[in-house]
Amino acid sequence: MEHILGKEWTVTPAGGSTGEAYYAKSEKNRLFLKRNSSPFLAVLSAQGIVPKLVWTKRLENGDVVTAQQWLEGKELSPEEMQHPEVAKLLSKIHHSSELLDMLMRIGKKPLKPIEILTNLKQTVRVNGAFMQLEVHQAIKILEKMLPMVYHNKQVVCHCDMNHNNWLLSQNGQLYLIDWDNALIGDPAMDIGMILQWYIPEEDWDYWLTCYGTELDEHLVDRMHWYLMIDSINYFIWHTNRKEYKEAAQQLLQLKRLIKRVTL
């Protein structure tokens, strides 16, 4: 990365799962660099959802490097995810026609529940996860619930609501970063993750009011459906990485979700 910026810059890896992110620092400036980041970063930047995009450069090998403002700030804590501003920013994202148009322009198509379930069943078969009783039970429930989870409004979903992806700058601006897994689908994918992981159930109504919607049975069904999908996928992912403690936690989560689903 140094050869892109010049000798006066110091570049260090920023970590992350892809290993393609870097911090760059000179005497006067600081940047966050990423190789082959999401193509709709420019729209996210223009809407103030991610830190400002400074420049984009294409390398000789075809890779694209983006540079964003490196802001002083902090990741939100799990407790801070309860703040109304989180609900408001997620609502802004879900209601953005510009983001949706851009994602469709780069070839993303709305993901239907039947496609998600078909893909999951294939993954389960390939990995032998049907051997787990909870996975077998959950697949049957997911099939039975399929007619209940169709939702007309398809939006841009971030798909990773981990508190580490929410950044609060020193000037009080909230950002949602790491858009590599974004897709077009049911907003219940994102909403369910936040409510399940971070919001006490007695506060769900208030949080959803801040978001701009109401808690009803249809939303709860859709949230639980997508959360079960996530738990099975995470169980397989952790098992393949021999992270058996984390895999067991996902099975426990799946058990809880199975108990909660009313058919």
Q: What is the C-alpha separation between 169 and 1, in angstroms, rounded?
A: 25
pLDDT at residue 35 in the model? 83
Q: Say which range, 11-25, 71-85, 191-205, 243-257, has the weakest mean pLDDT.
A: 11-25
Q: Active-site residue 216, yes or no?
A: no
pLDDT at residue 63 in the model? 84
Q: Average pLDDT for residues 211-231, to the nearest whole number?
A: 96
CATH code matching the domain that covers 2-70, chosen among 3.40.50.970, 3.40.50.2300, 3.30.200.20, 3.30.930.10:
3.30.200.20
pLDDT at residue 16 in the model? 59
Instruction: Please give the backbone phi and psi of residue 159, each rounded to the nearest 5 degrees, phi first.
Output: 80, 10
Q: Average pLDDT for residues 78-93, to the nearest whole number?
A: 98
**SS3 state of residue 36:** coil
* pTM of this structure: 0.88
Out of 63, 101, 160, 230, the active site residue is 160
Give domain 79-260's CATH architecture.
Alpha-Beta Complex (3.90)
Q: Give whole-number Cα distances, 37 to 56, 60, 61, 150, 193, in Å.
A: 10, 17, 15, 31, 23
Q: Say which range, 4-18, 105-119, 205-219, has the weakest mean pLDDT.
A: 4-18
Sequential DSSP letters for 162-204: -GGGEEEETTS-EEE---TT-EEE-THHHHHHHHHHHS-GGGH
Torsion of CA 215, 193, 159, 120, to 10 degrees: -100
Q: Which amino acid is at 45?
A: S
The DSSP element (H or E) to which 226 belongs, if any, is helix 217-240
Digit-coded pLDDT (tens) for 61-73? 888 888 998 888 9
Domain ranges of the chain: 2-70, 79-260
